[in-house]
Structure 1
C-alpha cells in the first residue's frame, strides 16, 4: 500500500517527452529515508509521447492530468496544485534534474522554519555552441550567483522553476494569476504576493538543480526577453506599489545602443530577425564582442517588449 504523500511535486509540461526522462530519473533516485511524495505531471494540451512515457513510469507515485488544449503554464500549475494531496507543495519544471535530497530538503524547510516560501536555485546546462561560449555560460554563472546573494527583501523576485510552499500557504495566498498569458512573470507575481503577505522566502543552495532547457540561441533568448518585457508591464499594472520600474537601458554609449536596438524590435518577428543576424555573426567575432552583441539583443528585446505591451494596452482602451 502506497503511504499518503507528505509532499506533492507539480510539474507543468508542454511538449516535454524529451525532457521528462531526466527529471523522472532524478526523482526516482531520491535518497533513502525521503518522506513519501507524489508526482503530478500536467500535460498541457499537446501529447508528443509524454502520456505514454508517463503511463509506463512505475518507480514513482505518479498521476497525470492531460489538458485537451494548451492552456499555458498558469493553467497547468493551478490544476496541479489543486489536485495535490501533500502538505508540502513543490513546483518543479520539466527540464530540471534535481539532487538526491531534493524532496527531503523541501520538506525539512517547511517543518523546521514555520511558514516560509522555499526557492531552489537552478544552474543552466549548455551544450557547446557559439552562443554558449559568448553569452550563455557566463550568464548562467551570474544568474546562480545572483540568486544565492539576494537579501531577504528581494528574494521574492527569484520565485520560479523550483520552489515550494505549504498547503496552508497555497490556500491562503491562492492560485497563480491567469492574467499572465505569455512567457514570464507569473512566478515573480506569486513571489511578490508571498512577500506582501509577510511570508519570508528562503533560498537553499542544497536544492540547486540542473536546468537543461535554457535558450540555445540568440533568437530564443531574445524572444524570451521580449515576452518577459510584456509580462513585466502586466506585473507593474497589477502591483503598482512594488519596486519594479521600466527595464533599465543604462547610460552613455551602451544605453544609446540598447535604445536603438529596442527601436528596431517593434514585434516578435523583428526580434527574431535582429537576433538571427547576431547569431550568425557569433562564430566570426571575438568572444568579448559576441558577448556585447548578444547583451544588446537581449536587453533591447526586453525594453521593446515592455514598450510593445504598453502600446497595446493604450490601443485597447
Structure 2
C-alpha cells in the first residue's frame, strides 16, 4: 500500500467534490451488509476497512512479513461487483476463516493503519462512497455523515450464533461526539437502509428536515394568543420547515379563529374527542419528519424547535422529553424575573439520572405537554396513535410512550427544549383522581407487564400527604446515585468528549459510571447508551458535582 495521503474530503481542486458516508461501530450489528446496501441504494462506491485488515492478517500469516501489506490493493470483485482485496494482483482467500485471526491487532500498528487508510482513500478516489469499518470516521473526518452502528448485547450475540458475522474478532470503535448513533434494534435491513438514505439526503442538502407540532385545544383562546407568537418566533429561528397544527376539540369560544390568525393549520372536531382523539386528529394532517406534542398553554423558548430536532439527529428512534417550568398566577412572560417552579420530573431525575435509560420505566416521564418523536418510528411502533379509550385526565401519553419503549425507544430529557406552563389550577381533586384511577385500570388491563404503575396510587391520592419522590422510588426501583458503592464518577468539562472515556471505563471493569457534564448536554444520554449498551451510564449536570464528588471513585 502507498503511504498515507490527505483524505479525499480534504483535497481541493483535484476533480469533482466527493461525498463520503462512514459507518463504524460495534461488531455484531451487520454494518458491512448495511454499508453495501446503502451504497447500492445511493448508486455510490463502497468498501470495507475491516476487509483490508483481514487481508493484512492473511497475507502476513502466509508471508511472515508485515511489509507485505504495501502490496495489498482493493479491486472490484467480478462476481459480486463489490470491492475485493488482492495481493500482487491475486485475489486473497480465507478472509473469513482461521487465516484472518488476529486482524484487529493490525489496527494497533500505526504503519499498517496509515497504509490501510491510504489504500481506502485511493480506492474511493473521486467517487461518492460509503466506507465501512474500524476507524472509518477517522479516515474521513469530514464525511458528510458519520454513523456508529450499535445494538444490544443480546442482539449482537444472536447474530454471532447465527453465523451472520465474520469469524475474525474485531475491536470496538470508539464512539465520539458528532457521530450519529444508530441502533439496529429490531428493524429490518430494508427499513434501516431506507432511513439512512433519507439521512444522507438531508446531510447533502437535497431536502430539509421538517417538524410538526400538534396542539389539542379546547376553549383555549386566551392561552393560544400567548403561545402561538412564541411558536412562530421559534419557527423563524429554526432552519427546518415547521408546521403548527391546532386541533379545536369542540370549543365554545373562538379558539379556531385565534389559531388561524396565529398561523396554525386548524382542525375543527365539532364535538370533543378528548386529548387522545384531538392529538390523533392532528396527526392525520401532519407532514413533519418529527412530531412534537405540546399543550395549548406552553410558552416555548426561542430554540425550542431547533433543540428538539438536534436531539433527533443524534440518534435514531429517540423520544425527546422536553422540560417544563410552571409560571406563577398572573404571570404570562417567563422572562419577567420571577423564579419559576421546576417540573416534578427534574426532582426525580436529580435522584436517579438525567439519562432516562437508567430508569426501570422511563416511559413514565414522557408527558404529552412537551414531547417529540420521529414520525417514522411513531407510525411503526404505535400505528394507532393515542388510545382514545383513555378519557379525562392522565396516562394516555404514558401509555403511548410504553408502546414506544416496547419497540426500543431511546430517551433524552432536555431542559433546553423547554416550555413555561401558564398557571392553572392543578389541584388533584377527588374527581380527577377517580378519572386517573379509571385510566390506570385501562392501562394495566391492556398491558399486564405495567402493573407496577399501581404503586403510584398513594402519590396521586389527594387524601394522602406523601413525598412523590419516595413513592416513585417504590414504583421504579432504579438505583439512586448514593445507593451504590463503587460508582465511578467522572467530571466532564463542557468542551470535552466523554464517550471514549466511558468505553474505556467499562472495558476496564467499571461496574457503574456517572458523568457529571458541565455542559449539561442532553445528547449524552442517548450516546452513552450506544457507547456502553445495557450499562445505564448515569448523567448529571455540572451543578451536581459537589453532591457527587465525595462518592468513592470520583475523579
* TM superposition score normalised by structure 1: 0.69
Q: CA deviation at 1:21?
A: 1.5
Partner of 2:413: 203
Please give the residue correspondences for 1:160-199 in structure 2 after superposition, counting only pairs within 5 Å: 160=367, 161-172=369-380, 173-174=382-383, 175-199=385-409
Partner of 1:18: 222
Partner secondary structure for residue 280 of structure 2? helix
- The structure showing larger relative contact order (alpha-carbon pairs under 8 Å, at least 6 residues apart) is 1
Partner of 2:289: 87
Q: 2:363 aligns with which of 144, 150, 156?
A: 156
Go from structure 1 to structure 2 and tell me whether the alpha carbon gap of 1:49 and 1:248 turns closer, same or farther (over 3 Å shift): closer
Partner secondary structure for residue 266 of structure 2? strand
Partner of 2:239: 34
Q: 1:63 aligns with which of 241, 258, 265?
A: 265
Partner secondary structure for residue 230 of structure 1? helix
1:5–1:38 Cα contact (<8 Å) kept: no
**Alpha-carbon displacement from aligned partner over 1:49-90 (angstroms, at most 9, x marks no partner):** 112212322xx4x21000111111111000111110111111
CA RMSD of aligned residues (A): 2.8
Distance 2:445 2:245 in 1: 32
Go from structure 1 to structure 2 and tell me whether the alpha carbon gap of 1:96 and 1:221 turns closer, same or farther (over 3 Å shift): farther
Go from structure 1 to structure 2 and tell me whether the alpha carbon gap of 1:249 and 1:43 turns closer, same or farther (over 3 Å shift): closer
Distance 1:210 1:34 in 2: 23
Q: 1:119 aligns with which of 321, 325, 338?
A: 321
Partner of 2:251: 46
Q: Which has the higher helix share?
A: 1
Distance 1:125 1:89 in 2: 25
Go from structure 1 to structure 2 and tell me whether the alpha carbon gap of 1:139 and 1:223 turns closer, same or farther (over 3 Å shift): farther
Question: Unaligned stretches of 5+ in structure 2?
Answer: 1-206, 331-338, 468-555
Go from structure 1 to structure 2 and tell me whether the alpha carbon gap of 1:5 and 1:230 turns closer, same or farther (over 3 Å shift): same
Partner of 1:225: 433
Matched residues, number: 242
Partner of 1:279: none
* TM superposition score normalised by structure 2: 0.40
Go from structure 1 to structure 2 and tell me whether the alpha carbon gap of 1:33 and 1:189 turns closer, same or farther (over 3 Å shift): closer
Question: Unaligned stretches of 5+ in structure 1?
Answer: 129-136, 251-257, 263-291, 297-317
Q: CA deviation at 1:155?
A: 2.2
Max radius of gyration: which structure?
A: 2
